[in-house]
Structure 1
Amino acid sequence: MDNDELTETLEDAGLSPYQADAFVTLLEFGSASATDVAQASSVPDPRIYDVLRDLEDEGYVETYEQDSLHARAHDPAEVLADLRSRANRYETAADEIEDRWSRPDIEEHRVSIVKRLDTVLAQADELIRSATTQVQIGLTPGQFDDLSDALSVAVENGADVKVCLFPSTEEEPELPSTEALAGTCTEARYRDIPSPFLALVDRSWTCFSPHGGSTNEYGVIVNDRTHAYVFNWYFLTCLWEVHEMIYSERNDEPPISYVDLRQCLRDVVPLLEEGRTVDVTVDGFDTETGREVTRRGTVVDVTYAGTAANDGRTTPLSQLAGEASLTLSTDDGTCTVGGWGAMIEDYEATRITIESVD
């Protein structure tokens, strides 16, 4: 750093141009008379005395009389500590500005628009770790590697985790092994074309960002059940329904748990048509009070808009897109159970467990 750059830096640190120039000159001389400092710097002769005394007050120099006023640079320890402290504050401020620019405090906003995918992934990681009910996520193998620890925590919390993997527009690692998927998800499927990143957490949070080939990089983070419900259908129809299953730890025999009432309907309807008795436990919310409830009973009826497949095939999701509910006979009478966003039913189910089929 030359003298001009050092002078400019000292000015940035709070010295006036004359003070910075005089101090740099004294560093060169070690000690000198006020007159010599004025002649070797840009400080006018009438100002040099005030400039040196101001520098002394701020701890940069010390003055002394020797026929005339002399000055020498002060022990730099205090000055260096001040400069380094300023540098740390600047660095901290820079980090804070970058963080606020890229990641608004979403605790105070229902909808946050961010500029970088990294911000979306970081928020998804935090939300997934707090999941207790369900996670639906579409991501590349590389993103799966980044979020696998968070997904493991969600599984340990008892959440149902559905993972859709798809390639990115760039070279990606290979698909995760069965061992890698075990413990990080309940089920996994593979879609063979690039897709946006999407994470839905506990029916409330949505984290979304376009795929890498998009013109603009941005992300959306939303804390809203209605918004999440719309993306739930995008996940089911585009990222889940028609794609190959590559991993599943679901039981084929009771107890069998579902976090999606429509998926439960698909399995229950054929059993009822065979005259089977299906006993279930429902965890969810009272739609009138919002209170958490658990209900146990026997499925005595189902309601859905379409028609069941009668040729042994799974009923298409499109047949279940309208009203869908179960009717249970319990010790307290009958009640109706709806799925995500239930309004006209008695309860909204967050988890349905088939306990037995007789």
Structure 2
Amino acid sequence: MDGDQLVETLEDAGLSPYQADAFVTLLEFGSASATDVAQASSVPDPRIYDVLRDLEDEGYIETYEQDSLHARAHDPADVLADLRSRANRFETAADEIEDRWSRPDIEDHKVSIVKRLDTVLTQTDELIRSATNQVQIGLTPAQFAELSDALAVAVENDVDVKVCLFPPLEDEPDLPSTEDLARASTEARYRDIPSPFLALVDRSWTCFSPHGGSTNEYGVIVNDRTHSYVFHWYFLTCLWEVQETIYSARREEPPLTYVDLRQCLQDVMPLLEDDRTIEATIRGFETDTGREATRHGTIVDATYAGISASDDRATPLSQLAGQASLTVADGDERFTIGGWGAMIEDYEAMRITIESIE
């Protein structure tokens, strides 16, 4: 660092331009008369005495009389300690500014707009680790690698984790191995075109950011069931229903677990048409009170607003976009089960387990 840079730095530390210039001059001289300091620096002769006394008051120099006023740089220990303390405060302030800018407290906001994808991934990691029922996520292989530990925690906690992988960006790793997918997902599919990052957690949280090739980098973090429901259908139609399955841990025989009523309905309808007896356990909420409930019974009917398939193919998802429900009998009582956002059914199902099919 040359003399001019040192002067500018001392100005940033709180010295005036004249004080900084006089102090650097004294450092070079060791000691000198006030007149010599004025001549060697930019400080005008009438101001040099005030400048030196101010520096002495702040502990940078000491003055003494020797025919005329002289000055010498003070022992720099205190000055150095002060400068290093200022540097640490600047560093701490920089970290705090960055943290406040990029990581709003998600607990205090329904909607947070952030500047960087890193912030979205950090929030997504925290939400996945606290998930209790389901995670739907679309991401690149590099993002999968970053979130794989959190996804593995969710899988260990019996959370249904659906992963849609996108093509890797330049310099990103290839698709994860089957072992990596088994550790961090319940089922995984592949979409062969780039797409935005999207994570839906427990029907409440949405984390979104444009894909890596976008000209604008930003992120949206929303804690709202209605907003998440809209993105849920984007996930189903664009990232899931028509994509290639590359890994699945789903069972072929009961018990079979569903976190999406419409997927359950697709599988159950052919069984009902064959007069099969389907025993199920439903965990969810009463739609009128919001109280958590668990019910057992026999699925006796499936209802949806679309047009029935006329052949052996499964009913397409587009036919299930309207009202869809299951009717369950528990002894003489019958009750209806709806999916995400159910209002007219008796229960909103969070998880349906087909216990047996006879």
After TM superposition, the score normalised by the length of structure 1 is 0.94
Q: How far does residue 164 in structure 1 lie from its aligned partner after superposition?
A: 0.8
In structure 2, the residue matched to 1:7 is: 7
> Residue 40 in 1 paired to residue 40 in 2?
yes
**Which stretch has the larger CA shift, 263-272 or 116-125?**
116-125
In structure 1, the residue matched to 2:238 is: 238
Q: Which residue identity does 2:295 align to in structure 1?
A: R
Where in structure 2 are the equivalents of 1:279-318 lying within 5 Å? 279-309=279-309, 311-318=311-318
**Which stretch has the larger CA shift, 141-150 or 115-124?**
115-124
In 1, are the aligned partners of 2:164 and 2:190 still within 8 Å (CA)?
yes
In 1, are the aligned partners of 2:140 and 2:167 still within 8 Å (CA)?
yes
In structure 1, the residue matched to 2:96 is: 96
> Residue 341 in 1 paired to residue 341 in 2?
yes
Measured in 2, the distance between the counterparts of 1:215 and 1:271 equals 49
In 2, are the aligned partners of 1:134 and 1:160 still within 8 Å (CA)?
yes
Deviation sequence 1:137-157 (CA, Å, 0-9, x none): 111112211111111111122
Where in structure 2 are the equivalents of 1:179-218 lying within 5 Å? 179-218=179-218
**Which stretch has the larger CA shift, 145-154 or 36-45?**
36-45
In structure 1, the residue matched to 2:329 is: 329
In 2, are the aligned partners of 1:283 and 1:349 still within 8 Å (CA)?
yes
Measured in 2, the distance between the counterparts of 1:346 and 1:47 equals 86
User: 3-state SS of the aligned residue for 2:174?
Assistant: coil
Q: 1:2 to 1:290 in 2, by over 3 A?
A: same
Measured in 2, the distance between the counterparts of 1:150 and 1:277 equals 38
In 2, are the aligned partners of 1:168 and 1:195 still within 8 Å (CA)?
no
In 1, are the aligned partners of 2:281 and 2:296 still within 8 Å (CA)?
yes
User: 3-state SS of the aligned residue for 1:334?
Assistant: strand
**Which stretch has the larger CA shift, 302-311 or 67-76?**
302-311
In structure 2, the residue matched to 1:52 is: 52
Q: Which runs of 5+ in 2 are unaligned?
A: none
Q: How far does residue 111 in structure 1 lie from its aligned partner after superposition?
A: 2.0
In structure 1, the residue matched to 2:167 is: 167
Measured in 1, the distance between the counterparts of 2:171 and 2:26 equals 59
Q: How far does residue 171 in structure 1 lie from its aligned partner after superposition?
A: 5.0
Deviation sequence 1:23-49 (CA, Å, 0-9, x none): 111101112233332332232333333
How many residues are treated as equivalent by the alignment? 358
In structure 1, the residue matched to 2:16 is: 16
Measured in 1, the distance between the counterparts of 2:129 and 2:357 equals 34
Deviation sequence 1:302-347 (CA, Å, 0-9, x none): 2211244353321111121111111222368322111100111111
User: 3-state SS of the aligned residue for 1:113?
Assistant: strand
Q: CA RMSD in A?
A: 1.9
In 2, are the aligned partners of 1:141 and 1:173 still within 8 Å (CA)?
yes
> Residue 137 in 1 paired to residue 137 in 2?
yes
How much identity, in percent, do the aligned residues show?
Answer: 82
Q: 1:44 to 1:263 in 2, by over 3 A?
A: same
Measured in 1, the distance between the counterparts of 2:162 and 2:324 equals 21
Deviation sequence 1:184-240 (CA, Å, 0-9, x none): 000011111222211111111111222223333332221111111111111111111
Q: 1:174 to 1:17 in 2, by over 3 A?
A: closer
User: 3-state SS of the aligned residue for 1:91?
Assistant: helix
Measured in 2, the distance between the counterparts of 1:171 and 1:79 equals 48
User: 3-state SS of the aligned residue for 1:182?
Assistant: helix
Measured in 1, the distance between the counterparts of 2:219 and 2:163 equals 20
Measured in 2, the distance between the counterparts of 1:150 and 1:260 equals 22
In 1, are the aligned partners of 2:168 and 2:175 still within 8 Å (CA)?
no
In 2, are the aligned partners of 1:112 and 1:220 still within 8 Å (CA)?
yes
Q: Which runs of 5+ in 1 are unaligned?
A: none
Q: Which residue identity does 1:283 align to in structure 2?
A: R
Measured in 2, the distance between the counterparts of 1:185 and 1:169 equals 21
In 1, are the aligned partners of 2:135 and 2:160 still within 8 Å (CA)?
yes
After TM superposition, the score normalised by the length of structure 2 is 0.94
Measured in 1, the distance between the counterparts of 2:186 and 2:310 equals 29
Q: Which residue identity does 2:16 align to in structure 1?
A: S
Q: How far does residue 98 in structure 1 lie from its aligned partner after superposition?
A: 3.1
In structure 1, the residue matched to 2:84 is: 84
In 2, are the aligned partners of 1:161 and 1:185 still within 8 Å (CA)?
yes
Measured in 2, the distance between the counterparts of 1:272 and 1:172 equals 47
Q: How far does residue 168 in structure 1 lie from its aligned partner after superposition?
A: 4.1
In structure 1, the residue matched to 2:278 is: 278
Q: How far does residue 173 in structure 1 lie from its aligned partner after superposition?
A: 2.4
In structure 2, the residue matched to 1:29 is: 29
Deviation sequence 1:72-122 (CA, Å, 0-9, x none): 111111111211222222223233333333343333332222333222222
